[in-house]
Amino acid sequence: MTTSSYASLARENRVKVLKNLAEAGVTTGVVYLAGMKTTERKWTDAEVAFRQESNFFYLTGATQPDLHLLVDISSQESYLFIPKFSDDHALWCGVPPTTSDMKSLYGVNHARTVDEIPDVLSSLQAANVHVLEQETEHGAIGTWQSKVDKTALSTAVIEARMRKSPGEVELMRKAAKISGDAHIALMKAVGTGKGSEREMHALFEYECFRQGGRFQAYTPIVASGRNGSVLHYVENSGPISTDKRDMLLVDAGCEYDCYAADITRTYPVGGKYEGDWKTTYEIVLDMQNAVLSALKPGVKWEDMHQLANKVAAEGLIKAGLVKGDVPTLLANHIPAIFFPHGLGHSIGLDVHDVGGYPKGVPRLTDPGIKYLRMRRTLEKGMAVTVEPGIYFVDAMLDKALADPEQVRYLNVDVVKRFQATVGGVRIEDDVIITEDGIDNLTGWIPKEVADVEKVMRG
Ligand SMILES: [Mn+2]
């Protein structure tokens, strides 16, 4: 049996986690993780498509259900445990793997069956069993449940997962490539009044799946026209607008080897950015370009959100949507009316990856930035999405227009004109922080006005 391509990365990841544990003073005992179990739709035997739990994948690379992992901390030896397969497993699911198959497939030191976990723990004379904070099921370790320790493992794993190795970056680049090609396929396929959001959603999944992107990293958002003003629009059930100036907002990305892409592009269904739609688009493009140019190690993520807010304020003034100077608009949270969500988040094995808020770091409370999914000082190897947006959300605008403190800064007629037609624009890329800047994994997917229009012309 050939070794899984992720086996060497998983070994590297285990070493990283053990190093983090050692730095936290943990040098004895064992690490225990339960993998994702087979799950069914409630009250049926219809199995849900299996996707490994991210921490378990990170430390094993294993893609089968119902596995368990032990790592002896002092010797660094790893033990993978497989289910006791029933006699008819081969009938329904093919010949099950043996322990020696699994040992060579995943490059672990030992492979056993799940009933042997307590015996292995006894042979290791484990002083304690380090488990993830959120893990509640420890049945498989039997009486060793009394030795469960939740103090150190979660942080050790999160801090390891936050900093991507070159091998992980290449898997993210592959997810980005497949997803980016799918975005381009949609740009080429869409046309005024042609087809539906559903067809565009289906085309995106088709393009990903046929290239090896079996799972979407999240439910795609495919929003035509005013639907783009609903931040997490997932119905994807409307027609494509018949107004050629209206835009399609597509926020979608697949997984590759469990690593996520999270990409948004917004473009006119008629193939040419025009009028208020183009004005809105260019504000977001400026916001994103400003942040992408500023990103590097040592930069605080919340400062990047504020930079996007500042560029938004400048653009909104220039567009005639708001009045006043930039500092006053920022002090009164006027950009947050149009940019009501966070700038972006960490990404990796999960689309909203672990580690946004280290222990003890609270969320900020101001409008907009309160939804920021991360407060960190950036370091080399961290992976983040940069996804500013400008939206004309009825709920936000109606509230601001009715608020005497806020309406003073709004040009009401202009705001209402945009609100009646433009939905929303978001542009989202996935970047890795490098020594002195970024490696933009998705920057090659057209987003400058001329580049998108060229692709759409075909
Ligand atoms: Mn995102």
pLDDT in tens, 143-202: 999 999 999 999 999 999 999 999 999 999 999 999 999 999 999 999 999 889 999 999
Strand pairing category for 247-252 and 110-113: unpaired
* Confidence (pLDDT) at 137: 84
CA 8 – ligand 1 centroid, Å: 29
CA 395 – ligand 1 centroid, Å: 22
Q: Mean pLDDT over residues 362-376, rounded?
A: 93
CA 432 – ligand 1 centroid, Å: 14
CA 387 – ligand 1 centroid, Å: 6
CA 345 – ligand 1 centroid, Å: 7
Report the distance separating Cα 80 and Cα 375, nearest Å: 35
CA 332 – ligand 1 centroid, Å: 26
* Confidence (pLDDT) at 41: 95
CA 265 – ligand 1 centroid, Å: 12
CB 82 within 8 A of CB 114: yes
* Confidence (pLDDT) at 443: 98
Q: Percentage of residues in the chain with pLDDT exceeding 70?
A: 100
Q: Mean pLDDT over residues 377-390, rounded?
A: 98
CA 43 – ligand 1 centroid, Å: 33
- Tens digits of residue pLDDT in 103-139: 999 999 999 999 999 999 999 998 999 999 999 889 9
Angle between helix 449-457 and 275-294 (nearest 10): 120
**Three-state SS annotation for the chain:** CCCCCCHHHHHHHHHHHHHHHHHCCCCCCEEEEECCCCCECCCCCCECCCCCCHHHHHHHCCCCCCCEEEEECCCCCEEEEECCCCCCHHHHHCCCCCHHHHHHHHCCCEEEEHHHHHHHHHHHCCCCEECCCCCCCCHHHHHHHHHEECCCHHHHHHHHHHECCHHHHHHHHHHHHHHHHHHHHHHHHCCCCCCEHHHHHHHHHHHHHHCCCCCECCCCEEEEHHHHHCCCCCCCCCECCCCCCCEEEEEECEEECCEECCEEEEEECCCCCCHHHHHHHHHHHHHHHHHHHHCCCCCEHHHHHHHHHHHHHHHHHHCCCECCCHHHHHHCCCHHHHCCCCCCCECCCCCCCCCCCCCCCCCCCCCCHHHCCCCCECCCCEEEEECCEEECCHHHHHHHHCCHHHHCCECHHHHHHHHHHCCEEECEEEEEECCCCEEECCCCCCCCHHHHHHHHHC
CA 262 – ligand 1 centroid, Å: 5
CA 60 – ligand 1 centroid, Å: 26
CA 82 – ligand 1 centroid, Å: 35
With CA atoms as reference, report the closest residue to 308 among 329, 277, 328, 284.
Answer: 284
Q: Mean pLDDT over residues 373-390, rounded?
A: 97
Q: Residue 208 pLDDT > 90, yes or no?
A: yes
CA 64 – ligand 1 centroid, Å: 28
Q: Set out the domains of the chain in order of their start, with CATH numbers.
A: 7-161 (3.40.350.10), 164-457 (3.90.230.10)
CA 393 – ligand 1 centroid, Å: 19
* Confidence (pLDDT) at 1: 65
pTM for the whole structure: 0.97
CA 428 – ligand 1 centroid, Å: 7
Strand pairing category for 389-391 and 424-426: antiparallel
CA 284 – ligand 1 centroid, Å: 15
CB 222 within 8 A of CB 204: yes
CA 252 – ligand 1 centroid, Å: 9
CA 384 – ligand 1 centroid, Å: 9
CA 141 – ligand 1 centroid, Å: 37
CA 300 – ligand 1 centroid, Å: 18
* Confidence (pLDDT) at 458: 84
* Confidence (pLDDT) at 339: 98
What is the average pLDDT value for the chain, to the nearest integer?
96
Residues with CB under 5 A from ligand 1 (ion): 262, 385
Q: Residue 217 pLDDT > 80, yes or no?
A: yes
- Tens digits of residue pLDDT in 263-320: 999 999 999 999 999 999 999 999 999 999 999 999 999 999 999 999 999 999 999 9
Q: With bands split at pLDDT 50, 70 and 90, how would you rate the model's confidence at 3?
A: confident
CA 263 – ligand 1 centroid, Å: 7
CA 266 – ligand 1 centroid, Å: 14
Report the distance separating Cα 129 and Cα 26, nearest Å: 11
CA 360 – ligand 1 centroid, Å: 24
CA 272 – ligand 1 centroid, Å: 25
Q: Mean pLDDT over residues 379-403, rounded?
A: 97
Q: Mean pLDDT over residues 249-275, rounded?
A: 98
Instruction: Give me the residue label for tokens 């030992």.
Output: 110
